[in-house]
Amino acid sequence: MDSLYISSNQVTSSKKKLAFQALALLAVVGVIATVAVAYTRSPSALILHELEVEEQEFQVFMSKYQKVYATPEEYHTRFQIFRDNAAFARVHNSQEKSWSLGVNQFSDLTSEEFKNKYTPYKFPQYSASPFVEENEDLSIPSTVDWRQKGAVTAVKNQGDCGSCWSFSTTGAVEGAWFLGGHSLVSLSEQELVDCSTSYGNAGCNGGLMTSAFKFAIANGLTTEANYPYTAKNGQCNTSLEKQIAAKITTYSNVSPNNSNALLQAVAQQPVSVAVQANQRAWQSYTGGIVTADCGTDLDHGVLIVGYDNTNSPPYWIVKNSWGASWGEEGYIRIGIQTGKGLCGINMTPSYPTA
């Protein structure tokens, strides 16, 4: 009988224990129910959260690049394009390629808009001869970087004007003038835009580096400070034009589609080239060595300022004219390849001599 006896204290303790267990069970059930509800709602909740994060990124993009949209509809359209470009970049970057994509000033443009606005003009394959051929007796240094030798001015920005050819030209002339024993000086693209039309150039509607070299041979070039860039076509200011800061005596075309001849040329000085740049590899480029086959339909003038033949893959160092916030502080590295080269970079090299 003693073993069956239960005191009131024991009863009370048992009741408390049962009550506690019941409450604990209810708590567990509540947690399970909450998780179940959250699980059923998570897809839309996650999408909403992602949209909020993406819109915050878009707001940062607008502030950084001073973007202003006229209507809520335009804002929404540009936001959707921004999201698409960002998603494309994320997928690309997940593939662990040798170059990365990301957000820059072109992230609110579709691929077609970018092509039409920044690379609408086509460069012909140069046919002039004689070409500077590869010299088999001339050794090629393993690396060259004219920036480190003081032959390259700061990165510039052509803005909403198809004047890339003028920036490639001034960069090449600046380098040649410096290597001719003079001080490095930033030369005027606007002078070429306004004043070289009689040489076959069309200002913001396109032009050729070789035609601009002919102008510089005949007229010289004034400084950027003296004849500032406006990113639009203007009347030639002949009084400023006559204030010559640098002049070249001739120019040469490098043997086309010959990477060794181009390496030898760049070992001497910065070299003007045309490329096909209307691809995502250029529009959304943020860094690394581009090894994509981005075509040979030349539409953009740039400047090779060096190379690294020891790297794997080896690459060209290319100065662009889309501002220092684009790419690698305004530069892009393009893989060295034989034949026409990646993006057609081996097809139309040329350089001036001071």
Q: Residues with catalytic annotation? A: 164, 300, 320
Kindly compute the dihedral angle of the four CA atoms of residues 60, 278, 329, 108, in this order, to the nearest 10 degrees: -10
Q: Which of 265, 250, 256 is closest to 135 using CA atoms?
A: 265
Q: How many CB atoms lie within 10 A of CB 299?
A: 23
Instruction: Indicate the residue type of 323.
Output: G
Instruction: Indicate the residue type of 285.
Output: Y
The C-alpha atoms of residue 331 and residue 303 are separated, in whole angstroms, by 10
The encoded tokens of residue 236 equal: 């030639």
Q: Name the strand (E) or helix (H) holding 280.
A: helix 280-283
Please name the residue that has the structure tokens 């540009």: 78
The C-alpha atoms of residue 349 and residue 25 are separated, in whole angstroms, by 78
- Longest Cα–Cα distance of the chain, Å, equals 125
The encoded tokens of residue 175 equal: 């380098």
The C-alpha atoms of residue 305 and residue 175 are separated, in whole angstroms, by 9
Instruction: Indicate the residue type of 298.
Output: L
The C-alpha atoms of residue 283 and residue 327 are separated, in whole angstroms, by 9
Q: Name the strand (E) or helix (H) holding 63.
A: helix 8-64
Q: Do residues 211 and 200 lie in contact, with contact meaning Cβ atoms separated by under 8 Å? A: yes
